Amino acid sequence: MRFGGLTAVKDLDFSIEPLALYGLIGPNGAGKTTIFNIVTGVYKPTAGEIVFDGRPIAGLRPWRITDFGIARTFQNIRLFADLSVLDNVKVAFARRQRATILSAVVRGPVHRSEEARIESEAYDLLKIFKLDGFAQEKARNLPYGSQRRLEIARAMATRPKLLCLDEPAAGMNPHEAQDLMELIRWIRGEFQMTILLVEHNMKVVMGVCERVHVVDYGSTICVGTPAEVQRDPRTIEAYLGGA
């Protein structure tokens, strides 16, 4: 991925097995969020290919990639601040709605039935993330850690096969981070979902990921189990030694 004369990602090659908990780590500016943006269609890669579930997706629009089963959160929280917590989750169901525009306008039976189903499923997600008590609050009024959880709940509403979490523990205290680790493991098991995690909190990464991919200057420097990565001299020099 090139931006003018700057190459942000180069010679990067990796694959994620179904149902894996896969971590992507590296120093600030290493290209981690750029990789997320390429995978989720925010950027069209300058060269190379991305294959998801047997289907090439490089350069597709984000909504098409969502339809194929990839959802994400963002390094900087991107909620609809003035919508309610419940509506932030409900809006993510739009890609799976069957009712037509006409049915919505006249509030026909298909529309009413679907609205009831969406509200019920959205509440169920809020319960999972312990946010159901704030359903009618504006998203902007939630504490920072709760906003992080809401963003994950909204991504989950698209029913992804691959969930990409961009620094989900940012701003969380140690107790919240521990709860997040348990939640990520539970999501993988309960929903049979593959999870790709970018995170600077090494306790979270090493505690939850089964395989860790280390990048620096947009290139791979190490791939292995958490224990292998923590012993790798290049990783220690580029990242862990200063963490």
Encode pLDDT of 69-102 as tens digits: 999 999 889 999 999 999 999 999 877 666 555 4
Within a domain: 84: yes
Q: Which domain, by its residues, includes 130?
A: 80-142
Domain assignment of residue 133, yes or no:
yes
pLDDT of 197-208, one tens digit each?
999 899 999 999
State the first-to-last Cα distance of the chain, in angstroms, to the nearest integer. Answer: 27
Give the model's confidence band at 127: pLDDT under 50 very low, under 70 low, under 90 confident, else very high: very high
Q: Please determine, for residue 106, whether its predicted confidence score (pLDDT) is greater than 90.
A: no
Taking the CA atoms of 28, 30, 34 and 40 in sequence, report the sign of the dihedral they define: negative
Position 134 in a domain = yes
Compute the C-alpha angle 174/73/27, nearest 5°. Answer: 65
119 assigned to some structural domain? yes
d(CA 212, CA 23): 4
* pLDDT value of position 75: 86
206-242 residue pLDDT tens: 999 999 999 998 899 999 999 999 999 988 887 776 4
Provide the number of structural domains found in the chain.
1
Place of tokens 């190490």: 222
**Residue 106 domain-assigned (yes or no):** yes
Residue 236 in domain:
no
Instruction: Give CA–CA dist 215/9, Å, rounded.
Output: 9
> At residue 243, does pLDDT exceed 50?
no
Q: Does the residue 155 lie in any domain? A: no
Query: Where residue 191 falls among pLDDT bands split at 50, 70, 90?
Result: very high
The candidate with the shortest Cα–Cα distance to 235, out of 207, 208, 205, is: 205
For residue 172, being part of any structural domain is answered with no
pLDDT at residue 110, as a whole number: 62
